[in-house]
Amino acid sequence: MNFDGTILLVDDEAHVRKYIGLILTSTLTAPRIIEGSDGIEAMETYKSANPDVVLLDVNMPQQGGIETLRQIRAHDPDAVVIMLSSLTNRQTVEEALQLGAVSYIRKDTPKDEIAAIIRQTLAECFGDARQDDGA
């Protein structure tokens, strides 16, 4: 998929950042990926880098994804945030969607399905202009 925007990828676990990062680079043409490992740092990075999309882990020490999502949306009501969840806890996911997250990814989903969710969400948020128009 044709996408060259900036993606802020926030998860406290390095293996998740590596794995999801690989999915992003193999699914999108030229994403610029910035990594973050906690919610407080993510908020700072959001302000300075102004990314197009945030992939945000729900469960993080110090400051969790829900609170970080709240802060990001307060700072920028149009922020595009996709939650990363390891939970079967549908309540937390629903709370995130109510707070304005555009979709969520369960991290134990097979990689092709994760890639499909990312493509679909980006197409919905940024329209067809960025979707496969070079193909």
Partner 1 sequence: MVGVAAQAVLATPAMPPSDQSLRGCKILIVDDDRLNVRVLQGILAPEGFTLADAGSGEGALDLYAEFQPDLVLLDVELPGINGFDTCRELRRLHGEEETAPVIFITARAESDDVVEGLTAGGVDYLPKPVRAREALARIHTHLHNRILMEQLSRANAAKNRFLGMAAHDLRTPLASIRGLAEFLQDPALGPLNPSQRDLVETIHDTSRSMLHLVNELLDVATIEAGELKLQPGPCDLGKLVEKSVYLANIDAARKDTRIVVEPADATSLTLDEARMKQVVDNLLSNAVKYSPPGATIMVRVGRDNGTCSFSVIDQGPGIPDRERHKLFKDFGRLSVQPTGGEKATGLGLAICRKIVEAHHGAITAENLPVRGCEFRVTLPIPA
CA distances in angstroms from 40 to 51, 109, 130, listed in the order given: 16, 27, 30
The sheet with strand 103-106 has its strands ordered as 32-36, 6-10, 53-57, 80-85, 103-106
User: What mask of x and - would describe binding to partner 1 in positions 62 to 81, judged by CB under 8 A?
Assistant: --------------------
Residue 19 lies near partner 1 (rule: CB under 8 A)? yes
Instruction: Quote the least distance from Cβ 126 to partner 1, whole Å.
Output: 25
Instruction: Quote the least distance from Cβ 97 to partner 1, whole Å.
Output: 14
With beta carbons less than 8 A apart as the criterion, state whether 3 and 122 touch: yes
> Could you say which residues in the range 94-133 bind partner 1, by CB under 8 A?
107-111, 114
**Chain centroid, CA 27 distance in Å:** 14
- Contacting positions for partner 1 (CB under 8 A): 13, 15-16, 18-19, 22-23, 26, 86-88, 90, 107-111, 114
